[in-house]
Chains A and B, each alone.
Chain A
Amino acid sequence: MAATGAIDSGGRPGASGWDSLRRFWRRRPGLRALVLLSPALIILLVMMVAPLLLTVALSFATQNGFQIDRTPTLANYAMLFSPEGNLYRILIVKSLWVSFTATVAVVVLAYPMAYYLAFRVHRRKLLWIILITVPFWTSYLLRVFAWKVILGFNGAINSGLIWTGVIDKPLEFLLYNPTAVTITLAHAWAAYAILPIYVSLEKIDRSLLEAATDLGDGPLRRFLRITLPLSLPGTIAATLLVFIPTVGDYLTPSLVGGTSGIMVGNSIATLYGKANNGPMGAALSIAMMLAITLVVCAFLVLIGPKRLRRQAG
């Protein structure tokens, strides 16, 4: 921060204590940062660390009926790597894949929309932003029902195509398969992708773009050299925001994914509940979280440690 002594009030009796405090404050940017971060960190410590530690501890236990045997054992993790654990390995990989494809779909579709909002809408931007989020205030369940109506057997698309004579029997591949899952997810996560990208694009200094044009860059070069890189924080944020939670999501795949719609989240929920095997559920969750972390780190490394350092710096 600027000139430390510039605004100090001078000469007030008893002010020296406050003055030195203020000087101390201004010279310690690290301290200021910590204070700003403290609410977030406190919430996390109180509410997140406990569940996390409980889960890790549980993953080393075993359960018999309703009794939990706390003697530490690696049995659950061993199961994950054994042939019996094939189910879980398949589910984790599958969930990562479904989430990956859905994320790509969402972000790729959202980017042009965010771009339009940031550069082509000149008035009433707030209106547009709110209009984009309003559909998500209706219940998620009902929206999925609506998708079933559109994609389903007697649904809008099929009825329309039959009525116009394009086909004479309803298409069955529109619903209850991985494609339907991707479409539904691309819809459900739209706002979470658009808004971060928009926020990032919005703040790009227009004079940079003008300068580039003046120097002879065509629209495509301008986009690739200036807009895209500068919107990277928002795009990365969007990618993470969509990818990470989707891996653990089991609702959408179970509602529209058909018989192949089971993901790792279903399994975790069952293990905690009906199957009465909390420890295994905990171990599977930890495994899933580690898998996500690995993929995310790989992604961030791919983006370029240099660029990342520049952004974080």
Chain B
Amino acid sequence: MQKSEFLDRLQEGKLSRRQVHKILIGAGMALTTMPITRRAAQAADEAIYFTWSGYDDPGFFPAYVKKHGGNPQMPVFADSEEARTKVQNGFVVDIDHPCSTDVKRWTDANLLQAIDTSRLTGWGTVFPQLKSLQNTQIDGKQFFIPIDWGNTSILYRPDLVDIKEESWTLLWDERYKGKLSVAADGTSSVPLAGIVAGAKNPFDMTEAEVAQVKELLVKQKPLLRFYWDSNSTVEQALASGELVASDGWNSSVVALQGQGVPIKFMNPKEGIMSYCCGLVLTKNAPHLDKAYDLMDAMLQPEAGKWLVTAMGYGHSNKATFDALSDDELKAVNLPRDPTVFFEKSIFQQYIPNTDVIQKMFEEVKAGA
């Protein structure tokens, strides 16, 4: 059928149903076989950076974009463990973005290669405490490049909560029954309870301590509205007043304040928890040079400034903090000298008996 004839017929509604079907099928097949965008075709040879989907903003690695003219390829994950499972089962990437507590799982599974820090120009000014986090170095070799860090503490609504002192025990306060929450992730909520129980090392508890913690968690369960699965859920609930307090990250404070919600980030007397996430290099990384470019780009103060001001996370490079103004730091609740935090806070660590902890937490949740 000629094109003009087709258009005429279309207008007059005279195309038979058969013809319309044929056209639809043809269009469908064309749609299916079309490559996504030209961009995707161009990006085919860039470094493969496996991370959270919000990180695809070029602000996180401006130096890489400048050098290579585009973003790296970015497959995304929603859960760090699932990401590791996928790589373990054969998915090829250059760089992944786990938290320091997970690095041991990657090295135990023999998935990583050591990173040659002399190739990273930004490495010199990285905070020394972050360079040597537990399990990130093996035989003096560096397997983890810290990028973003933050604090985990209690987010609470000062207009709905009345407390005399700041303590983790707020999450066990009977007065706020049904309006509290903790993370559904056992590796976060169990050490939290461990801190309250007074365990010697909340990340490596003895059998007796685990039993104690279980009792605490069972006591806590009826006070909770739900176990949160993402900080979107927590922030939504705090914004609407469904929750008055929950554990969460400092970046959430920034976001909530930005929307005009009265919120405070607690500095508990037992100690605030800190986390640090960053980059690891896989063993059979196909684009080694570009991978190093990417890692270095994410360490630069330019990228760090973006991370701090746009996302509210801390950056691992001291030079970034030097480059930020007092106002900018105040807006995101970060101190001029974060080493204060690193010295005093309880850094999250690898939990050796993860399976025991997870099972115990599931039993609490299932009521078994």
A274–B358 touching, CB < 8 Å: yes
A121 to B187, CA, bound (A): 54
Interface string of B80-114 (1 = CB under 8 A from A): 01101100000000000000000001001110000
A180 to B84, CA, bound (A): 33
* Closest B residue by C-beta to A67: B108
A269 to B121, CA, bound (A): 40
Partner of B229, one of A65, A255, A273: A255
Asked if B184 is at the interface of the complex by the 8 Å CB criterion, the answer is yes
A267 to B184, CA, bound (A): 12
A262–B362 touching, CB < 8 Å: yes
In the assembled complex, the CB of A138 is this many whole angstroms from the nearest CB of chain B, namely 17
B354–A154 touching, CB < 8 Å: no
In the assembled complex, the CB of A22 is this many whole angstroms from the nearest CB of chain B, namely 29
A261–B368 touching, CB < 8 Å: no
CB-CB contacts below 8 Å: A254-289 with B: 254-255, 257-262, 266-267, 270, 272-277
B108–A65 touching, CB < 8 Å: yes
A154 to B178, CA, bound (A): 15
Q: Contacts of B85 on A, CB cut-off 8 Å? A: 272-273
Q: Contacts of B109 on A, CB cut-off 8 Å? A: 66
In the assembled complex, the CB of A168 is this many whole angstroms from the nearest CB of chain B, namely 15
Asked if A205 is at the interface of the complex by the 8 Å CB criterion, the answer is no
Given known contacts A154-B242, A277-B355, A258 and B367 CB-to-CB distance under 8 angstroms: no
Asked if B68 is at the interface of the complex by the 8 Å CB criterion, the answer is no
A272 to B85, CA, bound (A): 8
A275–B358 touching, CB < 8 Å: yes
In the assembled complex, the CB of A82 is this many whole angstroms from the nearest CB of chain B, namely 13
In the assembled complex, the CB of B218 is this many whole angstroms from the nearest CB of chain A, namely 11
Asked if A176 is at the interface of the complex by the 8 Å CB criterion, the answer is yes
Asked if B366 is at the interface of the complex by the 8 Å CB criterion, the answer is yes
Partner of A261, one of B186, B226, B363: B226
Most buried by B among A145, A255, A259: A259
Given known contacts A259-B224, A274-B186, A87 and B366 CB-to-CB distance under 8 angstroms: yes
Asked if B236 is at the interface of the complex by the 8 Å CB criterion, the answer is yes
Asked if B342 is at the interface of the complex by the 8 Å CB criterion, the answer is no
In the assembled complex, the CB of A143 is this many whole angstroms from the nearest CB of chain B, namely 14
In the assembled complex, the CB of B241 is this many whole angstroms from the nearest CB of chain A, namely 6
* Closest A residue by C-beta to B360: A87
B366–A258 touching, CB < 8 Å: no
* Closest B residue by C-beta to A144: B233
B354–A274 touching, CB < 8 Å: yes
How many of A's residues come within 8 Å of B, CB to CB? 32
* Closest A residue by C-beta to B221: A259
A260 to B85, CA, bound (A): 27
Q: Contacts of B229 on A, CB cut-off 8 Å? A: 254-255
Partner of B355, one of A148, A154, A172, A275: A275
B81–A273 touching, CB < 8 Å: yes
In the assembled complex, the CB of B143 is this many whole angstroms from the nearest CB of chain A, namely 16
Partner of A87, one of B81, B237, B240, B363: B363
In the assembled complex, the CB of B208 is this many whole angstroms from the nearest CB of chain A, namely 18
Given known contacts A153-B241, A272-B85, A87 and B108 CB-to-CB distance under 8 angstroms: no
Asked if B359 is at the interface of the complex by the 8 Å CB criterion, the answer is yes
Interface string of B180-191 (1 = CB under 8 A from A): 000011110000
In the assembled complex, the CB of B205 is this many whole angstroms from the nearest CB of chain A, namely 16
Asked if A222 is at the interface of the complex by the 8 Å CB criterion, the answer is no
Partner of B354, one of A155, A255, A259, A275: A275
B240–A273 touching, CB < 8 Å: no
Q: Contacts of A148 on B, CB cut-off 8 Å? A: 236
CB-CB contacts below 8 Å: B342-368 with A: 354-355, 358-359, 362-363, 365-368
Partner of B365, one of A153, A154, A259, A275: A259
Most buried by A among B110, B178, B186, B358: B358
Asked if B275 is at the interface of the complex by the 8 Å CB criterion, the answer is no
| Residues of chain B having any CB pair with chain A under 8 Å | 79, 81-82, 84-85, 105, 108-110, 178, 184-187, 221-222, 224-227, 229, 233, 236-237, 240-242, 354-355, 358-359, 362-363, 365-368
Instruction: List 6 A-B pairs, minimum CB-CB distance, nearest first.
Output: A153-B242, A273-B81, A154-B240, A87-B368, A275-B358, A275-B355
Known: A152-B240, A274-B187, A275-B359; 20 extra A-B contacts, CB below 8 A, are A65-B108, A66-B108, A66-B109, A153-B237, A155-B240, A255-B229, A257-B226, A258-B225, A259-B224, A259-B227, A259-B365, A266-B362, A273-B85, A274-B81, A274-B185, A275-B355, A275-B358, A276-B105, A276-B355, A277-B355
A-B contact pairs, 19 of them (CB 8 A): A90-B366, A90-B368, A91-B366, A153-B240, A153-B241, A255-B229, A255-B233, A257-B226, A258-B225, A258-B226, A259-B224, A259-B225, A260-B365, A266-B362, A270-B358, A273-B85, A275-B355, A275-B358, A277-B355
